[in-house]
């Protein structure tokens, strides 16, 4: 699945494939699926239908949310889409702002396509 999102007024192509999880593990030495499951604290705040609204992080227990997982997921999706994407810190430094709540809303379908089977 591919999707273009806007981060800091820049269009960023994201892609999820079978290789994304392996790329994620090679870069971060962590299991992508376990990290996605750790985002379960967000599950009740993420839309399950096509109507995606911004997530109100004021309702989330932020002590249970590892923001690094979100940065890592977005980087892995971007790297899968574009092999020229630099290492995570260099790439993240190209953005003046990185609105987590908006980005989570934008990538939730990529996350779902990664962990759900098609019926």
How do residues 35-90 score in pLDDT, each as one tens digit?
Answer: 988 887 555 445 445 444 555 555 655 666 788 999 999 999 999 999 999 999 99
Coil vs helix vs strand at 49: coil
Find where tokens 């379960």 sit.
Answer: 40
Instruction: Report d(CA 21, CA 8) in Å as an integer.
Output: 26
- The DSSP bridge partners found for residue 6 are 11
Query: Which has more pLDDT, 109 or 9?
Result: 9
| E-state strands within the chain | 2-7, 10-15
Find, among 31, 83, 59, the residue nearest to 104 by Cα.
Answer: 59
């Amino acid at each position: 699945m591919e999707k273009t999102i806007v981060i800091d007024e820049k269009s960023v192509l994201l892609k999820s494939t079978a290789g994304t999880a392996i790329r994620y593990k090679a870069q971060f030495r962590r299991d992508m699926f376990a990290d996605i499951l750790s985002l379960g604290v967000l599950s009740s705040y993420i839309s399950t239908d096509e109507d995606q609204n911004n997530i109100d992080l004021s309702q989330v227990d932020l002590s249970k949310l590892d923001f690094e997982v979100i940065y890592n997921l977005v980087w892995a999706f971007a790297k899968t889409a574009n092999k020229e994407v630099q290492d995570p810190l260099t790439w993240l430094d190209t953005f003046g702002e990185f609105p987590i709540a908006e980005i989570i809303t934008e990538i939730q379908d990529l996350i779902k396509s990664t962990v759900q089977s098609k019926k």
